[in-house]
Structure 1
Amino acid sequence: MEPKLLARIGAIIFVAIAITMTAIEMSRAPEPVREEPVAEVVASGIDPLLIELRRCQALGAAGADDRDCMRAWAENRRRFLAPGARPMARIDDTTAEGN
């Protein structure tokens, strides 16, 4: 077989797979939107910075203009980049939400 013919067959197979995958993805039902409860400051020792970062995350792009979010991100960077800083264990979503 000629190389041009193999290239054309490969391109056709690639396009067919891409169309099939797109059709499968579009046929799926959309996932329901999760309502995240507003985290409240609890005396259980949850870091207030974590709560503020969650709030800023919920704001989305508007968080870039929020002064409190800018402070929270700066503090988070300071903690993360501090000399001798050790990464904290991953915080479960249930712990962060106060459940």
Structure 2
Amino acid sequence: MDLKIAARTVAVIAIGAGLTAAISALRDDDAPDADAPSIVRPGGEPDPRRELTRCRDLGAAALEDAACRKAWARSRRRFLQSDKPARPAMPKPERFGAVPTPTEEVPSR
């Protein structure tokens, strides 16, 4: 019985060491990227969150500010995910009980 207990202990220690090595390897991959500088807006565009914050801080004066109106429109488009308005579908005439025109043949019953 002592051999079985020793084997189980060795197995638990090996699994624990393997898990510890895997976790440390995953954490080390993220460390070098954290030091790298990040470019938020490469084109020089202002950060939309900063612009919206500035407009919020302006209060009622933001209603006349063109940059605030543009930022609000961009935020609405992003939130609603609509770059252009969708065209409404034309309703089918049979849905409204439309009478066929005289040139159409009426199916016999």
Which protein, 1 or 2, shows the higher relative CO under an 8 Å CA cutoff with sep ≥ 6? 1
Q: Mark yes or no: TM-score above 0.5.
A: no
Normalising by the residue count of structure 1, what TM-score does the alignment of the two structures yield? Answer: 0.35
Normalising by the residue count of structure 2, what TM-score does the alignment of the two structures yield? Answer: 0.33
Q: Bigger radius of gyration, 1 or 2? A: 2
